[in-house]
């Protein structure tokens, strides 16, 4: 949690050196972070683990990344622009070929055809150059799609991306939606969401929590000390969002890893988007100059 990190990645690649004090949305023409339905009035039938059933109108930036051969969900993600999705690097570890995946957006029911759904293939996967598959350090990636999303439909809209001046204090309530495993607490084939608070780094690093496995440099924890709602298998890469005072939703976390799902003193660990603002900006601006991503 906190401000954007330095100017170069652990992998040695230079990051964007310009002004990141304004949200990425200020460079875009399409509105962001404005769901067609208010998340506060979303369905609250107990079902992500320990979450609630919802629909795409409440979380229209949510996408499901599928394996092309099996149709199984690999990960989730969040729409940033008509061409870009933010997700986790570990989703593609060992299989970084874009042709292996496709993306579904606007979905509420995974196994049913919905007239408003959008499907697109992946053009390029941009994993962070410093991603470590053992420690999950730098667990962030961008995906560029072949066919751009049609935005500002009720079920497909981008989430806002924060600026370096933004912060995410402990205790902030955040939301995550996905089609991941519910471990019997609900139905995996429908979109579920949860609301969890950000946990202090000092608490997450305690030996009775994640201990030395947790690194506050680039990650943070969110969840409940006594267990409860949590991301699980299939939710990796999904965006953890919170609502700003401007009424818009911004993505601050990317679901990265955890120890079990919904267990006491084992909150979910999220890639800290604020730590990677320069990296995301750099890739975004390269794309807007119609150059291939370096990744």
Active site residue 139: yes
Residue tagged 């919905």 (tokens): 114
Tokens of 190: 């429908």
Question: Which residues lie below 8 Å from residue 55, measured CB to CB, with a gap of 6+?
Answer: 37, 42, 43, 108, 155, 191
Active site residue 19: no
Spell 112-139 as b/e; 16+ CB within 10 A means b: eeeeebbebebebbbbbbbbeeeebbbb
- Active-site choice (90, 128, 166, 210): 90
Compute the distance between CA of residue 55 and CA of residue 43 in angstroms, rounded to an integer.
Answer: 8
Compute the distance between CA of residue 246 and CA of residue 144 in angstroms, rounded to an integer.
Answer: 28
Would you say 194 and 51 are in contact if contact means Cβ atoms under 8 Å apart? yes
Tokens of 177: 């939606």
Active site residue 135: no
Would you say 72 and 101 are in contact if contact means Cβ atoms under 8 Å apart? no
End-to-end CA distance of the chain: 25
* Distance from the Cα of residue 234 to its chain's centroid: 12
- Active-site choice (139, 181, 188, 230): 139
Q: Alpha carbon of 3 to those of 17, 217, 218: distances in Å?
A: 15, 11, 10
The SS3 call for residue 133 is coil
- Active-site choice (5, 108, 164, 236): 236
The residues annotated as belonging to the active site are: 90, 139, 236
């Amino acid at each position: 949690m906190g401000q954007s990190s330095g100017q170069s990645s652990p992998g040695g690649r230079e990051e964007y050196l310009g002004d990141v004090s304004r949200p990425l949305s200020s460079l875009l023409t399409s509105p962001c972070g404005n769901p067609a339905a208010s998340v506060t009035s979303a369905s609250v039938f107990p079902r992500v683990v320990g979450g609630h059933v919802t629909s795409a109108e409440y979380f229209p930036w949510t996408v499901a990344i599928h394996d092309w051969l099996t149709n199984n969900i690999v990960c989730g993600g969040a729409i940033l622009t008509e061409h870009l999705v933010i997700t986790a690097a570990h989703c593609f570890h060992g299989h970084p070929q874009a042709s292996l995946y496709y993306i579904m957006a606007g979905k509420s029911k995974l196994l049913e055809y919905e007239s408003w759904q959008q499907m697109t293939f992946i053009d390029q996967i941009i994993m962070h150059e410093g991603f470590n598959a053992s420690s999950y350090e730098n667990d962030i990636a961008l995906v560029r799609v072949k066919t751009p999303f049609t935005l500002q439909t009720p079920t497909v809209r981008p989430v806002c991306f924060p600026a370096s001046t933004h912060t995410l204090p402990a205790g902030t309530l955040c939301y995550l939606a996905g089609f991941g495993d519910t471990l019997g607490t609900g139905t995996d084939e429908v979109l579920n969401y949860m609301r969890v608070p950000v946990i202090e780094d000092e608490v997450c690093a305690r030996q009775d929590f994640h201990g030395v496995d947790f690194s506050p440099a680039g990650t943070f924890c969110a969840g409940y000390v006594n267990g409860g709602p949590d991301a699980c298998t299939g939710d990796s890469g999904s965006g953890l969002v919170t609502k700003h005072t401007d009424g818009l939703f911004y993505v601050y976390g990317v679901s990265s890893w955890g120890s079990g799902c919904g267990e006491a003193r084992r909150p979910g660990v999220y890639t800290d988007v604020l730590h990677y603002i320069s990296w995301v900006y750099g890739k975004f601006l390269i794309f807007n100059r119609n150059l291939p991503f370096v990744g």
